[in-house]
Amino acid sequence: MGVSLGVFPPHLNPDAWCGVTSSPWPWGWGGNACGVSSRNVLWVIEGTSCDLPWQAALFKGDKFICGGTLVARNWVLTAAHCHVPGFINVRLGGRGPKDPGISEQRRLSAKVISYPRYDPATKDGDLMLVKLLQPVHINERVKPLPLASHCPVPGKTCQISGWGSTTSPEGMKPVDLHCAKVTIVSEEQCRRIYPGSITPNMVCAGEPRNRADSCQGDSGGPLVCDGRLQGIVSWGPGVCGDPQKPGVYVNLCKYTRWIQETMRRN
């Protein structure tokens, strides 16, 4: 598992945040690993192979850029910092970016709609809807995930998933989709960990008992609680898997109305 951050909050030490890379897509594959210049420790980030029918992989051409979640037959929800110019290629139902499998469905983006008040500097409002040119065929391998109907409760165990790094800061990438369990952290505790960086539109989740975490390459992927989409991988510390520093996710309960109205109008 791994978090790709496009840009770090500017008032914090840049060397402590992901996204410091020479790659054209700092949240994607093949760039410098998060935190390489700032830490010597190598975390092994806990996670197991899994198979989720709502998990999407977003590409620019053949280059993997982000994860995403199928929320309707023709809509994928991801992070706004995953935006790239031009068309986005969306893949669902395969094993992973490097192993599509026979069940994979591929779609081009017809329209990309970022949240209008997204702030790239602070990551507030870090969500984006991708409308598919053609709806997907719903089957056991490809099906949408419903949005959560309420805000997350601290202490709740949830699931994250993606093709991000399984080690940090070295940045080894898995072939298969990986999943991990994380626990929702209270807003008060998260504010103490990341002073001045947390808004009510964000939610923190981590695992103090082990190194389960999102990491480089997981951006835009889902945080799932009770079988519903609760959050989107947004940002986190430069070295993933630190039990004392949870990942930060878009708190989707704050955006349910915008998501539903945007899909209806488009």
Active-site pick, 124, 219, 234, 242: 219
| Residues contacting 253, CB < 8 A, separation 6+ | 148, 150, 151, 152, 230
Render pLDDT for 124-161 as a digit per residue (tens, 0 to 9): 999 999 999 999 999 999 999 999 999 999 999 999 98
Active-site pick, 81, 161, 214, 242: 81
- Is the pLDDT reported for residue 48 higher than 50? yes
3-state secondary structure at position 56:
strand
Please give the span between the terminal C-alpha atoms of the chain, in angstroms, as a whole number.
33
- Indicate the pTM of the whole model: 0.79
The answer to whether 126 is a known catalytic residue is yes
Active-site pick, 124, 126, 213, 218: 126
Cis status of the peptide bond prior to 53, with omega within 30 of 0: no
The answer to whether 150 is a known catalytic residue is no
Structure tokens at 43: 């975390």
The answer to whether 81 is a known catalytic residue is yes
Render pLDDT for 59-103 as a digit per residue (tens, 0 to 9): 999 998 999 999 999 999 999 999 999 999 999 997 656 556 678
| Domains located in the chain, CATH noted | 14-49+146-253 (2.40.10.10), 55-144+255-265 (2.40.10.10)
- State the average pLDDT for the chain: 78
